[in-house]
Amino acid sequence: MNGLLFQLPVTVTKSNLKQAMQQAIEIEIATIPVYLYTYYSINRNPSQSDVEAHILSDMKASQKGKKNKRTDAELQQAAAQLALEIMVFANKAGGLIMSVAVEEMLHMSLSSNIKNALKPPYGGIPSLVGKTPKVWPAYLPGHVPAFEINRGKLSLEQLHAFLLIESPLPFNVDKAEKGQAIEYTTIGEYYDQIINCIKTELKDSDFNGDAPQLLPEKGYYAQNNIDTIYYDENHKPQFPNADDSGGLVHVKGKDSAIHAMNEIIEQGEGSKTPLYTPKGKIEIVGDHLTPDGKVVCPVTPVGDEGTNSGDYDDKNKKELSHFDKFLEVYCTIQRKNSELNTFLNTKNFDFTKYFVKDLPKNPSTSNYPKAIQDVSNLTNAIYTYIFIMAEACYKTAGHKQYEIFMFGIHKSMIWLLDNLCGTMSGLSYTDSSGEKQSVAATLEDYDFANSSSPKSQIIDLAGIAMASSPIVSQTLLSRIKDLPDVPLEAYLVENNKGIL
């Protein structure tokens, strides 16, 4: 492995801690549109009969011209079994990916709590608005080596990028670009730098525990929601985020700040224990990545009996880390496709086509026709408004903060954004060459004007979208009108205590 990866020119010190905490926030934000986009590419509840018929047709077509082809009875049985497995797996894959996206929002909040609790010059109000990557493919700020992250549909390629994001140990890939950010080889290694700085260079008196934060006793963070829950083969509900895996932390001093950072690391990363196979030890990182970033699926399926205890992030060993959740989805797809190609004597049979929507990679609102642009602008405005409201929570406290979060952010995420993103991923249009093109929510930052409040502009965008497309309903407009009205420059702050 290239030793230069470990010769980091800049590390976290108290002189750049404010920058380091902002970079940590932006690392978390960069993952949110990526994970959400992939989530909305999954049809979590496809029609079992339609899927079975489609599979059977494809399986029969795959046997044409083969000498030792499968019988119709064998194909019928295999199609029925695969359709049943898809009904369980599609729902589970969606639940696992959304459970990670929910925790990334938590990690953004934990990092923001630390930055806002740190007194100047070490901290200050977190900057959350306009931090979604503007150019795609994007890169994690400061990661060495650099690797592409994309808004793309569920695939082995996309899941591989997710594993690189969450890997607990360094790896080496071809693309290595350096920027102005503080460099690190894994997110956990970077957060360890922050922990070391807090532990060795700061005092408890460098923190202001009265600064506005998102506090655990307010009920702001819920480990699971309607989109994280999935059902197993026995139709029993599964909750991928465990109650004891962590939540919001009130940062008052060094210990609580370190606790918050450790929580982010533990929720994100898997075990560092080497994998042993019947042939012996394999040199790997992050449980199941080779040093050059290739995936090695475990002998024991992730989550089964025998899974390394370090793959979990909670005391009761019920919740897998982000890395291992993604590994489970990746390896299930890889194993099932290998089984199917062996059974059918084919090379490229991919069962994900039956529950994954064929969404474009890294779409841009500007490339859509006007009617879809209107819906996309509305969706992006609501997406951006979530960050405006989140940032406002660090400029005010008490009832006003509670109103913004509970009646603004929760409603925007669960009722508005979920509705629009899910619906957009089912749309299509015909381009100038007559080709059918699929549509997806672009999850781009919307550029609000300063002439009026973001909420009033969102209401106007909803009116425009309603005139262009039937997917924007009067009910959705009514829910938008119920959102709290948060200006771009949110609140005056007196002595950083959130006093209006």
How would you classify the pairing of strands 280-282 and 237-238?
unpaired
What are the tokens at 177?
A: 């670009």
Residue 73 structure tokens: 């009875």
For tokens 């409201």, what's the residue? 389
Q: What DSSP designation does 405 have?
A: I
- Tell me which residue of 353, 322, 356, 325 sits closest to 166, measured CA to CA: 322
What is the rounded distance in angstroms from the CA atom of residue 463 to the CA atom of residue 450? Answer: 20
Q: What is the pLDDT of residues 244-262, one digit of tens each?
A: 778 999 999 999 999 999 9
Whole-number pLDDT of residue 446? 97
Q: What is the mean pLDDT of residues 17-33?
A: 97
Q: Which 8-state DSSP code applies to residue 281?
A: E
User: What pLDDT score was predicted for residue 261?
Assistant: 95
The pLDDT, as a whole number, for residue 199 is 97
Separation CA 376–CA 420 (nearest Å): 9
CA distance 115 to 118: 5
What pLDDT was estimated at residue 173? 67
- What would you measure as the largest C-alpha separation in the chain, in angstroms? 80
Whole-number pLDDT of residue 266: 87
Contact 186, 293 (CB under 8 A): no
Q: Does position 287 have pLDDT exceeding 80, yes or no?
A: no
**pTM here?**
0.91
3 state DSSP class of 320:
strand
Q: Which residue shows structure tokens 């549509």? A: 439
In angstroms, the first-to-last Cα distance of the chain is 54
* Separation of alpha carbons 301 and 307, rounded Å: 7
Q: What is the pLDDT of residue 169?
A: 76
User: Which of the listed ranges 273-282, 290-299, 399-408, 440-449 does the model predict with the highest average pLDDT?
Assistant: 440-449
Angle at 132 between CA 376 and CA 289, to 5 degrees: 115
The separation between CA 445 and the C-alpha centre of its own chain, rounded to angstroms, equals 16
Nearest to 269 by CA among 317, 321, 233: 321
| Higher-scoring residue by pLDDT: 34, 275 | 34
Among residues 32, 133, 28, 158, the alpha carbon closest in space to that of 444 is found at 133
User: pLDDT tens for residues 398-431?
Assistant: 899 999 998 888 888 878 999 999 999 989 999 8
Q: What is the DSSP letter of 444?
A: P
pLDDT, one tens digit per residue, over 194-242 is 999 999 999 999 999 999 999 998 888 888 888 888 888 888 988 888 7
- On the question of pLDDT at 480 being above 90, the answer is yes
Report pLDDT for 288. 72
Q: What is the pLDDT of residue 412?
A: 85
User: Is a pLDDT exceeding 60 seen at residue 308?
Assistant: no
pLDDT digits (tens, 9 = 90+) for 140-161: 999 988 999 999 999 999 999 9
Per-residue pLDDT reduced to its tens digit, 320-348: 889 889 999 999 999 999 999 999 999 99
Over the stretch 77-131, which tens digit does the pLDDT of each residue have? Answer: 999 999 999 999 999 999 999 999 999 999 999 999 999 999 999 999 999 999 9
Provide the pLDDT for residue 309: 52
Q: Which two tokens stand for residue 385?
A: 């408004």
Average pLDDT score over the chain: 88
CA–CA dist 89, 111 (Å, integer)? 33
Per-residue model confidence (pLDDT) at position 88? 96
Residue 176 has pLDDT above 60, yes or no: no
Cα–Cα distance, 20 to 390 (Å, whole number): 20
